[in-house]
């Protein structure tokens, strides 16, 4: 399934269609669009489909209070909902919302779950093919699942010995490590992707989705090898915006499902997922004495406080602390 925007007629009079058009005009990531639309729809449904123009501070406060007290969401979740609603009012309806009074969600932030090195390797070794290489990239490079599946052939820079990550959270780009252990598997996967691309071209297909305005700016880029996905999907699918049959990338859900099956099979009693590999990457680097700023850069965190949470994850024994019972 495509993780790109479906086309919307600019003539549509529907509230949510016009709201989506505004978000796209600001060039926000599609995940941001989906998140904002989800919370705005939730806000409207909570007030029994009352039009936002007929609501104000009291209704916003009631919804935020509901999230905090009834739903017991985390503080960041409540902030995301608030950001979406404020964006709708200020940017879309041109209504300035001020002086909100509500109870902030105080659900404590949980420490991230981390694999031991043995656990991470065991999960990886229980996978095969593209799923195994995806897990190796998440653990060896600190990539998110979305960043892994969207890698394009041009993003693997063997000359500079790094991976350039685009289409990231916050629409930022960054460089991360290219592990020596993955050089040969990546070269083999690159050749496999190129071979499949040649077959698609011979069949009259071979184009790929390009982000932003690249497709209009470079009309032939969609057919060029460099822009093809490193992990192409098994079958062609129809782009919902253009109705063109293209080969998209492997789905995030398929990788998540395989990783979850491996975790269950190994009887790892942790609330773990694909993202646990990214947490484990940061923790291993911290244990090895890597500077926190370097870890922040590799992970693409805009705020160092986000990276600092891994200081609480590193084992107490790594800091030389010994229990009195063992003294």
pLDDT tens sequence across 180-192: 999 999 999 999 9
Among the listed residues 34, 47, 107, 275, the single catalytic one is 275
Confidence at residue 299, expressed as pLDDT on a 0 to 100 scale: 94
Please name the residue ranges forming H helices in 126-251: 129-141, 145-149, 183-202, 214-217
Question: Which residues have CB under 8 Å from 322's CB, separation 6+?
Answer: none
Q: 3-class SS at 248?
A: coil
Long-range contacts of 262-265 (CB under 8 A, 24+ apart): 262/123, 262/126, 262/127, 263/123, 265/126
- Stretch 141-163: mean pLDDT, rounded? 96
Q: Mind listing the pLDDT tens digit for each residue in 47-102?
A: 999 999 999 999 999 999 999 888 888 888 999 999 999 999 999 999 999 999 88
Question: Which residues have CB under 8 Å from 159's CB, separation 6+?
Answer: none
Q: Mind listing the pLDDT tens digit for each residue in 8-38?
A: 777 788 999 999 999 988 878 778 899 999 9
Among the listed residues 20, 278, 279, 284, the single catalytic one is 278
Measured CA to CA, the distance from residue 194 to residue 305 in angstroms comes to 41
Measured CA to CA, the distance from residue 275 to residue 241 in angstroms comes to 30
Among the listed residues 169, 174, 175, 260, the single catalytic one is 169
Whether residue 275 has pLDDT greater than 80? yes
Confidence at residue 47, expressed as pLDDT on a 0 to 100 scale: 96
Q: Two tokens at 122?
A: 């065991």
Confidence at residue 317, expressed as pLDDT on a 0 to 100 scale: 55
Whether residue 213 has pLDDT greater than 90? no
Confidence at residue 170, expressed as pLDDT on a 0 to 100 scale: 64
Q: What is the pairing mode between strands 245-246 and 156-157?
A: unpaired
Q: Two tokens at 18?
A: 């016009």
Specify whether 50 is catalytic.
no
Confidence at residue 16, expressed as pLDDT on a 0 to 100 scale: 94
The residue behind tokens 């002086």 is 99
Among the listed residues 132, 144, 152, 258, the single catalytic one is 144
Indicate the CATH number of 111-327 among 3.40.640.10, 1.10.443.10, 1.10.10.10, 3.40.50.300. 1.10.443.10
CATH 1.10.150.130 in the chain is located at 15-92
Specify whether 310 is catalytic.
yes
Specify whether 278 is catalytic.
yes
Confidence at residue 1, expressed as pLDDT on a 0 to 100 scale: 45
Q: Mind listing the pLDDT tens digit for each residue in 220-246?
A: 889 999 999 999 999 998 877 677 889
Confidence at residue 305, expressed as pLDDT on a 0 to 100 scale: 87
Question: In CATH, what number does 15-92 get?
Answer: 1.10.150.130
For 312, list phi and psi in degrees, rounded to 5: -85, -10
- Stretch 259-280: mean pLDDT, rounded? 96
Residue ranges of E strands in 4-57: none
Q: For the purposes of burial, counting CB atoms within 10 Å of the CB of 208, is it exposed (0-12), middle (13-18) or buried (19 or more)?
A: buried
Confidence at residue 145, expressed as pLDDT on a 0 to 100 scale: 96
Confidence at residue 75, expressed as pLDDT on a 0 to 100 scale: 84
DSSP 206-239: ------TTHHHH-TTGGGSGGGSBSSB-SS-EE-
Whether residue 313 has pLDDT greater than 90? no
- Stretch 187-200: mean pLDDT, rounded? 96
Among the listed residues 89, 131, 139, 310, the single catalytic one is 310
Specify whether 275 is catalytic.
yes
With a pLDDT cut of 90, the percent of the chain lying above it is 66
Q: What confidence category does residue 172 fall into, taking pLDDT thresholds of 50, 70 and 90?
A: confident
Confidence at residue 316, expressed as pLDDT on a 0 to 100 scale: 56
CATH 1.10.443.10 in the chain is located at 111-327
- pTM here? 0.81
Q: What confidence category does residue 159 fall into, taking pLDDT thresholds of 50, 70 and 90?
A: very high
């Amino acid at each position: 399934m495509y993780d790109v925007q479906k086309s919307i007629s600019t003539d549509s009079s529907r509230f949510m269609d016009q709201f989506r058009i505004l978000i796209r005009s600001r060039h926000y990531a599609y995940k941001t669009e989906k998140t904002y639309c989800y919370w705005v729809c939730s806000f409207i449904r909570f007030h029994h489909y009352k039009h936002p123009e007929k609501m104000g501070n009291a209704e916003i406060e009631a919804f935020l209070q509901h999230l905090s007290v009834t739903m017991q969401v985390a503080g960041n979740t409540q902030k995301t909902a608030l950001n979406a609603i404020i964006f709708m009012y200020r940017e879309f309806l041109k209504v300035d919302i001020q002086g909100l009074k509500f109870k902030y969600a105080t659900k404590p932030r949980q420490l991230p779950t981390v694999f031991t090195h043995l656990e991470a390797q065991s999960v990886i070794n229980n996978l095969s093919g593209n799923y195994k290489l995806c897990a190796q990239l998440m653990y060896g490079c600190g990539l998110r699942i979305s960043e892994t599946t969207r890698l394009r052939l041009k993003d693997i820079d063997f000359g500079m010995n790094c991976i350039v990550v685009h289409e990231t959270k916050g629409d930022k780009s960054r460089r991360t490590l290219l592990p020596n252990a993955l050089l040969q598997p990546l070269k083999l996967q690159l050749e496999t992707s190129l071979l499949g691309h040649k077959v698609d071209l011979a069949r009259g297909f071979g184009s790929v989705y390009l982000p932003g305005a690249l497709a209009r700016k470079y009309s032939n880029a969609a057919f060029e090898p460099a822009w093809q996905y490193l992990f192409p999907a098994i079958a062609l699918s129809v782009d919902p915006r253009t109705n063109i049959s293209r080969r998209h990338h492997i789905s995030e859900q398929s990788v998540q499902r395989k990783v979850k099956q491996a975790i269950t099979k190994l009887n790892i009693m942790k609330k773990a997922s694909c993202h646990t590999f990214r947490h484990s990457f940061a923790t291993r680097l911290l244990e090895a004495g890597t500077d926190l700023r370097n870890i922040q850069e590799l992970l693409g965190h805009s705020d160092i406080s986000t990276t600092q949470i891994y200081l609480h994850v590193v084992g107490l024994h790594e800091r030389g602390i010994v229990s009195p019972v063992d003294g």
